[in-house]
Amino acid sequence: EPEVTQTPSHQVTQMGQEVILRCVPISNHLYFYWYRQILGQKVEFLVSFYNNEISEKSEIFDDQFSVERPDGSNFTLKIRSTKLEDSAMYFCASSPLPLTGAEQYFGPGTRLTVT
Amino acid sequence: QKEVEQDPGPLSVPEGAIVSLNCTYSNSAFQYFMWYRQYSRKGPELLMYTYSSGNKEDGRFTAQVDKSSKYISLFIRDSQPSDSATYLCAMSSTGGFKTIFGAGTRLFVKA
């Protein structure tokens, strides 16, 4: 069964460093998303991506964040200068359905720890 | 007022019980309503989704949407210990580019 994969599973970085989180969405999906979940809190939308451009982003997704689909399979989230409060689980999701947000399939997540 | 409200629980039930999980929302533009299950330190797993009002059934799970009351429910019949997890409601509007999640309800099913 196809699934969304994410690497690394755990990333430890120092404050101020850049990190890149990687995702491989399900191959025939066209809609991609990043979410974060701070420990013990709810899943928060960061950004959606379709047709090689950002479709929508939340207030959390400021200039420190960027997304890219560098080739036909990978989808990345870059945080330029990490802060302590960026420590969270980051989930990638993909969906085959246009214009609904429904049927999103999530990856296992990357746990980011900023020290 | 939060866009999506969900009682965090925890909710503890005996095996075999019928479980009712609920969310309320304030944004009348929401058209798509999803339920996810999340085990500790794992990614959310899609259980089912519905469009607009009505019911949808899948095995032991039934989702209900009442748009007039801005209220959605997930029922689990014949609950099992393996159903113990956090259940997340989520919603999006047509366009579907932004999905809002509830806080999640922690469910414990005791054998």
Using CA atoms in the order A50, A53, A59, A63, what is the torsion angle rounded to 10 degrees?
A: 150
Instruction: Record the tokens describing residue A98, joined without a space.
Output: 């246009």
Q: What is the structure's pLDDT at B53?
A: 84
Determine contact: A45 vs chain B, CB below 8 A.
yes
Which pLDDT value is given to residue A91? 98
The amino acid present at A13, given as its one-letter code, is T
- A30-67 per-residue burial string, b: 16 or more CB within 10 A, e: under 16: ebbbbbbbeeeebbbbbbbbbeeeebbbbeebeeebeb
Q: What is the pLDDT of residues A54-108, one digit of tens each?
A: 999 999 999 999 999 988 789 999 999 999 999 999 999 999 877 677 789 999 9
When comparing pLDDT for B34 and A1, which is higher?
Answer: B34
Answer whether A84's CB lies under 8 Å from A92's CB. no
Interface touch A101/B43, C-beta < 8 Å: no
pLDDT score recorded for residue A48: 93
Q: What CA–CA distance (Å, rounded) separates B80 from B13?
A: 10
Q: What is the pLDDT of residues A24-63, one digit of tens each?
A: 999 989 899 999 999 989 999 999 999 899 999 999 999 9
pLDDT at A72: 78
The answer to whether B96 contacts A102, with C-beta atoms less than 8 Å apart, is: yes
Report the C-alpha gap between A82 and A71 in whole angstroms.
Answer: 25
Q: CA angle, A103 as apex, B30 and B79 as ends, to 5°?
A: 95
Query: pLDDT tens for residues A7-29?
Result: 999 999 999 999 999 999 999 89
Cβ of B103 and A41 within 8 Å?
A: yes
A104, A108, A109 ranked by CB distance to B99: nearest = A104
pLDDT in tens, chain B (111 residues): 779 999 988 999 999 999 999 999 999 989 999 999 999 889 999 999 998 888 999 999 999 999 999 999 999 999 999 999 999 999 988 776 789 999 999 999 999
Reduced to 3 states (helix: H, G, I; strand: E, B; else coil), residue B5 is strand
CA distance B84 to A112: 26
User: Ramachandran region of residue B47, left (φ > 0), alpha (ψ -120 to 50) or beta?
Assistant: alpha
The Cα–Cα gap between B39 and B43 comes to 7
